[in-house]
Structure formats: C-alpha cells, structure tokens
Amino acid sequence: MSEFFKSALGYISGSGTGGTDNDFVGQQVELGDQKLRVRRVIAEGGFAFVFVAQDIATGKDYALKRLLANDEEKNKAVMQEIRFLKKLSGHPNIIQFIAAASIDKSSSGHGQAEYLLLTELCSGGQLVDILNRRSSSLGCDEVLQAFYQTCRATQHMHRQNPPIIHRDLKVENLLLSSQCSIKLCDFGSATTVTHAPDISWSAIKRSLVEDEITKNTTPMYRAPEMLDLYQNFRIGEPGDIWALGCVLYMLCYNVHPFEDSAKLRIINANYTIPESDTTYTVFHDLLNCYFYTLESHQNNKTEPP
C-alpha cells in the first residue's frame, strides 16, 4: 500500500482530537502537498464518515472519507477499498481517486487506526435522493442515460484482471457529478474472490460464505445464487448483473422489485412490472433478461445474463 499512501505525519492541526464527526469539522488536514479544511459532514455509516474538505490554496472542494479500523480485518478491508478505487480511477463513471493517508492506532490518539481517502466531490449528490425528491418519474431518456453510465462503470470493474466485483451495486451508491454524470462509489464491499460451490462443500464452508455475503451485500439486491448455495452455482460477477436489473427497475418505478427482501421471491424472480405502465415498455424485455430464477439457471446450464 505504500506506493500510494502519502505521509499523514501531523495531518491534523488544532486542538480537537478528531474523535467524532463534529470534532473533525473545522480541522486542517494535510495529504501530500495539499492542505485542506474540513467543512462539513455529508454522509456517515458504520465506521466511515464523509466530509466536504476545501483546498486552502485553491478553494476547490473535495470529498474526504475518514475510516476508522480497530482490528486487522477492518484494516485489510479499508486498504483493499482504497486499492480498488485507485485501480479503477480514471473511468468517467467511477469516482475519481485523489490521495490517501493513514496513521496507526498507536499514533491516532483514540486507539483505532485511521485512514483518509480524498476523492472528487460529486456536487449533484446521491441519485436516490434526487429520485425521492422528484414529483414526477424520470423520462425514458433519463433512465437510459443513468443506466447506461452505471453499466459502463460495472463493465470497467469486470474487465479488470482479475475482475473486481462490487457486491453492493445500488442506487444509494450512484452519485451525480457537477456535470450530471453518474459516478459509482463505495468499494468497501468489493472483491476479486469468487466462489464455486460443489457437492464436496461442507455445511460449515457454505455457512462461512453465507456470512461473508451477508456482511458485504444489501439484502434486497442479493442474487438467487447468493441465497441458496446448495444449488451450487458460481458466485461472482453475475451478482452485480442481477443488481443492475434492480437498479433499472428502481430508475423506472422508484420502488425496488424485491422491496421485502423475501428469499423465495428473489430465488423465483417473483417481481411484477406494473400493468398500467406505458412509459417504460421499451425496458420490459431488458428487465426480464436481468432477472433469472435458479430453476431456469439449472435448465439452461449457463451463467446468468
């Protein structure tokens, strides 16, 4: 990781400890040659906080993600997230990596390792917030543009060697840049590891993989093969493709096709396209291609579309 972690020596100036999001606001942060002032919190969840940070010299705003890790597993997960983002950065539909820094728990002052990840600021905010605020649905052209750009980001991940699997593709992880282009973010659940269950797998091994899936995916976006490992289908990139189908459905109807996260509904691809829909008929066949049942998967002996 040293090839892209810049020195964080003395990265916080001021009297605050930075122990909470409120304490961190107002602090001065140094990443490499950049000096930034932390302005405000824009998102938080788990052990991560995202702030707007302004370059003191230029006045330009960036997104600064602050991650705390109190054990080795979290340390590895954070480093992997930053590694993936750096590798994928440069694609027009993936959030742009700028810099990263870290300090270990012995130097942090609060007993946890701390990581700072600086990226471009997507001033348009989360796509899901825009969907929720709108009084009318997206037009077909808007749906097509948003979905096409999301697919391009996913394709870029899957074309890496080895392929990078996001595992948490959802509208909440789609941001809008100042130019209104889609930017995929949050690679904290991403992996290059795939699973190929077979009859030799023990119940314990299946349970461990199920625990991993539970930890890194959102229930209503899970693909059928993630919910029934005893069907012995490969778990990997197809899970992202299933999630893309969920994203398309949400862009059209502003509800999730499997809102209740019911296991049997997902396994049987039991979703409904509104009968009254005349606006998005052009997407109906595409939606049907994205959602597959384990039964059809078994009969066709092929990977999901």
Tokens 């899936």 belong to 213
pLDDT at site 31: 86
Judge whether residue 17 has pLDDT over 60.
no
Strand order in the sheet with 12-13: 5-6, 97-103, 113-120, 61-69, 48-55, 34-45, 28-31, 12-13
pLDDT at site 23: 79
Per the annotation, the verdict on 168 as an active-site residue is: yes
Judge whether residue 10 has pLDDT over 70.
no
Tokens 């990265």 belong to 11
pLDDT band for position 71 (50/70/90)?
confident
Can you state the angle between helices 140-158 and 237-253, rounded to 10 degrees?
Answer: 170
pLDDT at site 4: 36
pLDDT band for position 80 (50/70/90)?
very high
List the chain domain ranges.
5-120, 125-300
Q: Which CATH superfamily is domain 5-120 in?
A: Phosphorylase Kinase; domain 1 (3.30.200.20)
Judge whether residue 138 has pLDDT over 80.
yes
Q: What architecture is the 125-300 domain classified under in CATH?
A: Orthogonal Bundle (1.10)
Reported as a single tens digit per residue, the pLDDT across 260-295 is 999 999 999 999 999 999 999 999 999 988 887 655
Structural contact between residues 65 and 128, judged by C-beta atoms closer than 8 angstroms: no
- Per-residue pLDDT, averaged over 115-142, amounts to 90
Average pLDDT over all residues of the chain: 86
Peptide bond into 274 cis (omega under 30): no
Judge whether residue 299 has pLDDT over 80.
no
Q: What is this structure's pTM?
A: 0.86
Judge whether residue 103 has pLDDT over 90.
no
Judge whether residue 57 has pLDDT over 70.
yes
**CB-based burial of residue 4 (10 Å sphere; 0-12 exposed, 13-18 middle, 19+ buried)?**
middle
Judge whether residue 91 has pLDDT over 80.
yes
Polymer length in residues for the chain: 305
In three-state secondary structure terms, 97 is strand
pLDDT at site 9: 34
First-to-last C-alpha distance (Å) of the chain: 35
Q: Which long-range contacts (CB under 8 A, 24 or more apart) does 280-284 make?
A: 280/140, 280/143, 280/252, 280/253, 282/140, 283/140, 283/143, 283/248, 283/252
Reported as a single tens digit per residue, the pLDDT across 235-266 is 999 999 999 999 999 999 999 999 999 999 99
Choosing from 23, 33, 168, 198, which is the catalytic residue? 168
pLDDT at site 13: 35
Judge whether residue 183 has pLDDT over 60.
yes
